[in-house]
Every structure is written in C-alpha cells, then in structure tokens.
Amino acid sequence: MGKGIVRHKYKARPCEIDGWFFPSLKEGRYYSELKLKVRAGIVLFFLRQVPIHLPGGVKMVIDFLEFHTDGTCHFVDAKGKRLRSYIDKKKMVESLYPITIEEK
C-alpha cells in the first residue's frame, strides 16, 4: 500500500486518485464518475467531505455535495457497510434539514 494508506477495519480498500486519498475504492470510483459528469456538463462542481453539524456536538460528514446544472443539489454518501451510527446520523440529518442523503 502507498504512503499514508492504511487498512480499514471494515475491509474497505483505500485508494488515491488525482492526489486525493479515498478510504474506499467505491468512494474513489464515484469521485471519478463525478469528474466525468462535470466534463459532460451535468454537474457544475462538487465538494468532498462536507460536514453537517448536529445537536449535542455530533457531526456527520457527507462524502460529496454535488451542484447540478439543473439547479439541484445532491448530498451523496458512497456507502459500503451501513453502520448503526451512520443510519442514526442520516435519520437525524434528514429530520432536521430539508435534504435527503443519497447512497451510492
């Protein structure tokens, strides 16, 4: 494995693309898909690792926030294993904010 890449406890295989570290191949592949969507004019731009602050000092980090050319925004998490903590935070975010977190 390359410098700075360690084995994940849930057996996700980390990768590096364009100098960016991704904790899983799935997230890295989705990043590559987004770059193609930007080139195709479907997505204007996207942000990575966007924090959403919740009550009690809790924070959920969304993998990608996509801004599409049709004016919509998409909150996307590249999920492999859906852990209880993720499910609970997702429910909390969606109940507090007018957004839906898409899972890829």
Per-residue pLDDT tens for 15-57? 999 999 999 999 999 999 999 999 999 999 999 999 999 999 9
Confidence category of residue 1, pLDDT binned at 50, 70, 90: very low
Q: Is residue 8 part of a domain?
A: no
Q: Is residue 60 part of a domain?
A: yes
Confidence category of residue 4, pLDDT binned at 50, 70, 90: low
Q: pTM of the predicted model, to two decimals?
A: 0.86
Q: Is residue 4 part of a domain?
A: no
Q: Which residues of 29-64 are buried (b: 16+ CB within 10 A; e: fewer)?
A: ebbeebeebbeeeebeebeeeeebeeeeeeebebbb
- Tally the domains of the chain: 1
**Domain interval for residue 79:** 15-103
